[in-house]
Amino acid sequence: MNILSICLVALGLVFLSQSLKPAIKICKQVHSLGWQLLLLLIVFFFIGYCSFLYYLTTITTVSIVEICLSTILFGGSIFVFMVIEFSLNSIEELHIIAQKERYNALHDSLTGLPNRLHFMETVTTKVVAAAPFSVFVLDLNDFKQINDVVGHYYGDQLLIKLSKRLSRALPEGCFFSRVGGDEFVLLFNAIELSEISDLMAIIDKTLVKPFNINSYNFNVRISTGISLFPYHSSTIAPLLQKADTAMYESKKQQVSYRLYNDTLDDDAKARLAISSKLHLALAKNQFQLYYQPLVKLQSTKVHHFEALLRWPQTDGSFIPPDQFIPLAEQNGTIRQITLWVLDTITQDLVDFAAQDVDACIHINLSALDLQDDYFSTRLSALVREGLLSPVQLVLEVTETAIMTDITKTRDILSKLSRLGFRISLDDFGTGFSSMSILRELPINQIKIDRSFVMAMHNGNTNNAIVRSIIFLAKNLGCSVVAEGVETKAIAAELTLLRCDYLQGYYYSKPLPLASLLPYCEQQGWKVALQ
């Protein structure tokens, strides 16, 4: 029995000794006073076990008390060993879970790149360190069109492949993150223009090869804005804002990248000033409508004019539409502007009729006009009230506006088409989904983009494009308009090609109604004269 007691206590010592290593590991990970006390108790237990074991070796016979105590000490050692092992496993599992949660919290779930939170932590650390660095804001061009045309699955796969390819190509030390949608931010530990140029060359070269996704090839282009710490700003928010401003300038100029400078801020302030005046311009009725004739090749009773918005200033100058229309779309005033244009056209049609001119007006619609029912509801009301006939209006839409939300656009244009309004596809040939639009939407007319028309004599390519568009339009049963006709030679060639309508400065610049009516009389366009 003495040997049994000795073996039980000896085994207990083994289990206790095996508990020491995981207990020490737990103390290093947890840094808790309770676990440190427990480790100290295990050490005391180990000393106690050794003392009792020594006692057992010094006696020849054992009583029932020593046997029971040996059994209890053996069982206690097993209990301590199991508790410590299970505790360590649980703590390590919790640690792994915490690490995963931390990783997920700091990384984008789609691409695996660092996310906005991770970026903010990293850039904050860099700002505190005060070492110069550069911030790159990268934005994919026309990414929304990819989502709308082929679906979000392809858009997501494109983002994944793009992220992997750029991550592999970027030099060591670059922090590359996806901060939302199709926008990425890159931190680069250099501010020299030559190094920035070299890095952009790497990015551009990486994107030369198309991205193949399920037999689709996507050519991706990125607009990039760059700001420098601490030269452009020593705080995070202005640094990002300046890089963002430079990125939009890059997108506007259709160049690979722009480095921020103070003139870009001046442009931003000018845009803000224009944006803030739009509501006042509407309230004070400062806008004017000009009309440019669409000269028809066949003699018909109806004469077509495109309504063009003008914003005159007190000094006699005009703010160009390409400056204030995008701002009106951003701040939402474009809806009120479109309704103002529509109401003005309705009033001007009365003046056309009073002068015996049977007019059809072409009105340009923005992307927001096609996103809800306010515009179509207003048109329906005008028709119902007898103030407007559908044959008096042609609705011009661009591919860019359509692709903002092609499903909603299809519903609205189909509704208007059923009411009798005709739809004209403006700037045809400049986008990559024009053919699918012709299939999906009720298009009645195609307007050839002026860039092709004005360059018809500069080479066979543009001439062939114009010829092909006219041929396509005729076979689809659509009328065709050539805009940008500025020379007699181009007008003559388009006439030979039997283009239905010619529009441009060769015939007339846009005119206010007071000047347009005498022009119509000079051209013999009055109904009474026909």
Any idea where the domains of the chain sit in the sequence?
2-106, 116-260, 268-529
Contact 305, 292 (CB under 8 A): yes
Q: How far apart are CA 302 and CA 353, in angstroms?
A: 11
Instruction: With CA atoms as reference, report the closest residue to 367 among 519, 145, 188, 184.
Output: 145
CATH class entry, domain 116-260: alpha beta
Q: Which amino acid is at 192?
A: E
Q: Is it true that 116-260 and 268-529 share their CATH fold?
A: no
d(CA 367, CA 389): 24
Q: Using DSSP bridges, classify how beta strands 222-229 and 359-364 pair: parallel, antiparallel or unpaired.
A: unpaired
**What is the β-pairing status of strands 288-296 and 222-229?**
unpaired
Helix/strand/coil (H, E, C) string of 459-492? CHHHHHHHHHHHHHHHHCCCEEEEECCCCHHHHH
CB distance 341 to 307 below 8 Å:
yes
Q: Which CATH superfamily is domain 268-529 in?
A: EAL domain (3.20.20.450)
Q: Is the pTM of this model over 0.85?
A: no
pLDDT digit string (tens) for the chain, length 530 residues: 678 878 887 888 888 888 888 888 878 777 778 778 877 887 888 888 888 777 778 787 777 878 888 888 888 888 888 888 888 787 778 777 767 777 777 888 889 999 999 999 999 999 999 999 999 999 998 787 777 667 788 889 999 999 999 999 999 889 999 988 889 999 999 999 999 999 999 999 999 898 988 877 888 889 999 999 999 988 998 899 899 889 988 888 888 999 998 777 666 777 777 888 888 888 888 999 999 999 998 777 889 999 999 999 888 888 888 888 888 887 778 889 999 999 999 999 999 999 888 999 999 998 888 887 888 888 999 999 999 999 999 999 987 777 777 778 888 999 999 999 999 998 786 655 556 677 778 899 999 888 888 888 776 778 888 898 899 888 889 999 999 999 999 999 999 999 999 999 999 999 999 999 888 888 888 655 44
416, amino acid identity: L
3-state secondary structure 91-135: HHHHHHHHHHHHHHHHECCCCCCECHHHHHHHHHHHHHHCCCEEE
Query: How far is residue 524's CA from residue 508's CA, in Å, rounded to a whole number?
Result: 15
Q: Are 46 and 16 in contact (CB under 8 A)?
A: yes
Q: How far apart are CA 223 and CA 347, in angstroms?
A: 44
Q: Decide: residue 423, CB within 10 A, 0-12 exposed, 13-18 middle, 19+ buried.
A: buried
Cβ(165)–Cβ(184) under 8 Å? no
